[in-house]
Amino acid sequence: MAMPGRDDCLIIDPGFTPQKVIDHIEAAGRNPAAILLTHGHSDHIGGNAALKQRWPACPILIGRGDAPKLTDPWGNLSAPFGLPMTSPPADRLLQDSEILDLAGMKLEVREAPGHSAGHIVYVWHEGQPKIVFGGDVLFDGSIGRTDFPDGDFPALAASIHDRLFTLPDETIVLSGHGGQTTIGRERRGNPFVGQRSNRPPH
Distance in angstroms (rounded) separating the CA atoms of residues 52 and 58: 7
Asked if the structure places residue 118 within a domain, the reply is yes
Structural domains counted in the chain: 1
Q: Which residues contact 65 (CB under 8 A, 6 or more apart)?
A: 111, 113, 116, 117, 118, 119
pLDDT digits (tens, 9 = 90+) for 46-95: 999 999 999 999 999 999 999 999 999 999 999 999 999 999 999 999 99
Asked if the structure places residue 92 within a domain, the reply is yes
Asked if the structure places residue 200 within a domain, the reply is no
Asked if the structure places residue 166 within a domain, the reply is yes
Asked if the structure places residue 81 within a domain, the reply is yes
Asked if the structure places residue 105 within a domain, the reply is yes
Distance in angstroms (rounded) separating the CA atoms of residues 109 and 105: 13
pLDDT digits (tens, 9 = 90+) for 165-183: 999 999 999 999 999 999 9
CATH number for position 46 = 3.60.15.10
pTM over 0.85: yes
78-106 exposure pattern, b = at least 16 Cβ within 10 A, e = fewer: beeeeeeebbbebeeebeeebebebbebe
State in Å, rounded, how far the first CA of the chain is from the last one: 33
Residue 112 is part of which domain span?
Answer: 8-189
Asked if the structure places residue 199 within a domain, the reply is no
